[in-house]
Amino acid sequence: MSENSARLDRLLHPEVLAAFDRDVYERDGYWVWDGILTDEGRARWSESLQRVQSLNDAIVANSDWGRVQFAAHGLAAPDADKIAPEALAGYRGGSEQMRFQPPGLRDFMYQHGLFDPALVTDGCEWQGMMPEYFPLAYDEFILDVTANHPQMMDLLGKVLGPEFLIDHVLTLNRPGGSTGRRWHGHPYRQGQHETEDPATGGQSPSTQFLQHQCVRTLCYPEGMGKTDGGGELAVVPGAHLYRTPYMWDKRRTDYDEDFAAGWMRDKDHPATAEPLQIETLDLSPGSMVSFVHHMPHHVGHRDEGAPTRWGLLMAYRTRDPEQAPSKWNEGTPAHWADRTDAHGLMTQQMRRIFEGDQPLTSA
């Protein structure tokens, strides 16, 4: 990126960044960055999320999906009724709405890029994948804050340590009526290092913070809470120490009562010995929250008619020393990274985040 039109130097309040307490974060598994965005940071962040949403909406609604050559790429075509114009119009306005996508399409776009003349991408340069799933490729401000900005790299370094790779970054814009996500956790990478059963796990809690770590940081420029339309994010302090990627590869059905009476029942916080408790978050505008990948979490139903809640999910992970070195890591669409590199737009900082799991350079 040219130096650097998208950069907002005063993005974060330095005193909020400095107040991070690593011990509390390791003990409870999450950290709230309360009101960390400056007013200008909030405005830019909201504007970019809205911009990416409208690019995504336009591609969904204006493309002639019936003419896309899915079979040529080994993909099934979408059902005809799901790509009728009225159906397509209904997928706009928020994330996780594109219910017409055939199996494998999202992965194909990520890994190879889908370039097809039937896709109508007025207003932006198509990058082979939907803006929702890799907004960095469509918005210079989002690219800067997720891969370059010194204050953001400082924040991510506090929760991950000095060396981290991108896992995934996507928009989580939740429109009114969105049903959220039932109780679940996430594995590190594809689950190859997990030791606990996803449904019943939690047999050997430890107070040791995991080395194979993936941390999600969510930014809500307009806030996130009960009074702004609901659908809050809830976590369970201490539950990350059970290391259960709860239901990550299974159908998730638990609301709070089911989870409290099920997996959570009779479990204590391994560091404080208090019974585990659900904590439903309420975040002021311009806040972020970071939480580790094993922490079970829940997103409630957003009220019908509520305004869209703007959110960006930024997940990064520590390097996996057992992974053979590769050019780009699996969270990076290689076709995009190669193009970016060929155009001379890959900064050293970006390279550190997108490259494969090379051996650690710092102890």
Residues that bind ligand AKG (CB under 6 A): 172, 174, 181, 216, 218, 233, 297, 299, 311, 313
Look at residues 339, 330, 328 and name the one whose alpha carbon lies nearest to residue 115: 339
Nearer to ligand AKG, 169 or 276 (CB): 169
- The smaller minimum CB distance to ligand AKG, of residues 88 and 136, is found at 136
Shortest distance in whole angstroms from residue 36 CB to ligand AKG: 16
Helices (H), the chain: 14-18, 22-28, 39-62, 85-89, 105-111, 140-147, 150-160, 256-261, 334-342, 348-354
The nearer residue to ligand AKG, 110 or 246, going by C-beta atoms, is 246
- For residue 53, give the amino acid letter: Q
Instruction: State the nearest-atom distance from the C-beta of 326 to ligand AKG, in Å.
Output: 25
| Alpha carbons 101 and 59: distance in angstroms, whole number | 13
Q: CA separation (Å) from 316 to 16, 124, 262?
A: 21, 27, 29
Q: What is the DSSP string of 4-15?
A: -TT--SS-B-HH
Q: Which whole-number Å values give the CA distances from 1 to 4, 329, 359, in the listed order?
A: 7, 20, 27
The CA distance from 313 to 297, in Å, is: 14
Taking the least distance from each CB to ligand AKG, the nearer of 135 and 311 is 311
3-state secondary structure of 291: strand
Which residues does residue 33 pair with via DSSP β-bridges, in sequence order? Answer: 288
- Comparing CB distances to ligand AKG, the nearer of 131 and 296 is 296
Beta carbon of residue 250, minimum distance to ligand AKG (angstroms, whole number): 15
Q: Which is nearer to ligand AKG, 95 or 127 (CB)?
A: 95
Cα first-last separation, the chain: 30
Q: How far apart are CA 276 and CA 165, in angstroms?
A: 31
Minimum Å gap between C-beta 224 and ligand AKG is 6
Beta carbon of residue 332, minimum distance to ligand AKG (angstroms, whole number): 19
- The Cβ of residue 342 has, within 10 Å, a number of other Cβ atoms equal to 9
C-beta closer to ligand AKG: residue 44 or 216:
216
